[in-house]
Amino acid sequence: MQVLFNTIANYTLDDFLSDLILVGIAYGYILLTISVPVYLKKREIISKFAARKIVHLFSGLVVLIVPFFILPLHAVFIALSMTVVVYFSSRDSSVRQLQ
């Protein structure tokens, strides 16, 4: 816990910008991982089952970016935001646009 407090105490603007770039790369990777199989499914190149498997297989690899964060807490925010997106995109969601 002390290591985390020391990291936060020494966290500079350059560190924040570095982490922000990594967060952008992570979200870009996730967006690409989702959009490519959707495009291939719409063109009927792959089946719905294969598209789903591709998304699940490759989206889990986003955790490989975590060791490069200066403040690893950003990985928690990425995971939480993806959890919220998945929750609101479910069939039982009251938000109609994401279904």
pLDDT of residue 5: 84
Q: How many domains does the chain have?
A: 1
pLDDT of residue 27: 94
Per-residue pLDDT of the chain (99 residues; tens, 9 = 90+): 788 788 888 899 999 999 999 999 999 999 999 999 999 999 999 999 999 899 889 988 998 999 999 988 898 999 999 888 888 877 765 655 544
CA dihedral 52, 55, 57, 59 (to 10 degrees): -150
66 within 8 A of 78, measured Cβ to Cβ:
no
In a domain, 93, yes or no: no
Structural domain harbouring 61: 2-88
Q: What is the pTM of this model?
A: 0.80
pLDDT of residue 45: 94
In a domain, 31, yes or no: yes
pLDDT of residue 99: 46
